[in-house]
Amino acid sequence: MKRILVAVVSCLMVAGMVYAAHPAKNVSATKHPNLAAALVLCADAYQKLGAAQVANEFDMNGHAAKAKTLIEEAGKEIKLAAEAANHNK
- The pLDDT value recorded for residue 88 is 86
What are the sequence ranges of the domains in the chain? 2-87
* Burial grade of 78 (CB within 10 A; 0-12, 13-18, 19 or more): buried
- The pLDDT value recorded for residue 4 is 57
Residue numbers of the chain with a pLDDT score lower than 50: 15, 18-19, 24
Closest CA to 13 of 66, 56, 49, 41: 49
- The pLDDT value recorded for residue 34 is 96
- CA 82/CA 52 separation, integer angstroms: 30
